[in-house]
Amino acid sequence: MSGRLLVSVSSIFDQTRSAADGLIKDLRADGIEVSLLVAPRIDGDWRLAKDKETRKWLEKHREIGHELILNGFDQPVQGRRSEFASLEAHEARLRLIGAIRQMEKIGFNFSVFAPPRWRMSEGTFEVLSEFDFDFAASTRGMHNLKTGDFLACRNLSVGEGFGAAKWWRKNVINAVSRGAARGNTVRLSASARNLENPKVARDFRNAALGALALGAQPQSYSQAMQR
């Protein structure tokens, strides 16, 4: 039985957009669509609302079929901790309201939510049903918020608070191959910050191609949860 391959890129802003674009174009040429994890605020003073070029870039990729996923609200506040990893329901609700309002003002709506580094507190999960999300993704797997279905599948990350060194990339490639060979759902993600290193981008692409060679079918998060 063939598994599924879900590939995503996060931390996309003015300084990382070019690196992300290069990998995404290569993967698209390989027949692999990439889900783009998007946040209204990243790094210091950067705001998507003030970055016309990144907005145009995201709009272009949305038009050609790349899925956009809401990836938090104010990532710089997380420091060493992930923004939604330990929030109570009240604060998670406020952050989600803020993120959704800011993104709607500049023309972006989302059916999928994934917290930074995929780390989701119980309080965050508790309030997701109050919003218009259809699906959510965490370190544990993927949630259908309309039906309550859950697909257990851990995420394999390069960067995003995880490793990016050569030994880590090798472990990710091996884990992807094992999962794809078993027909599992393989989730593979990278931070665009790390993709500026050509060796990291190469190994990340090779991991995705390895899953493809073993029969994994590329899908978006929404497609995977509708099966």
pLDDT digit of tens for each residue in the chain (227 aa)? 579 999 999 999 999 999 999 999 999 999 999 999 999 998 778 999 999 999 999 999 999 999 999 999 986 545 556 899 999 999 999 999 999 999 999 999 999 999 999 999 999 999 999 999 999 999 999 999 999 999 999 899 999 878 899 999 999 999 999 999 999 999 999 999 999 999 999 999 999 999 999 999 999 999 998 86
Alpha-carbon 55 to chain mean position: 17
Q: What dihedral angle (degrees, nearest 10) is formed by the CA atoms of 5, 31, 118, 43?
A: 170
**Tokens at residue 175, please?**
């884990």
For the purposes of burial, counting CB atoms within 10 Å of the CB of 78, is it exposed (0-12), middle (13-18) or buried (19 or more)? middle
The C-alpha atoms of residue 211 and residue 223 are separated, in whole angstroms, by 18
Number of domains in the chain: 1
What's the pLDDT at 81? 64
Identify the CATH number of the domain in which residue 97 sits: 3.20.20.370
pTM of the model: 0.94
151 is in which domain, residue-wise?
4-225
Q: How many CA atoms lie within 13 A of 167 on its CB side?
A: 0
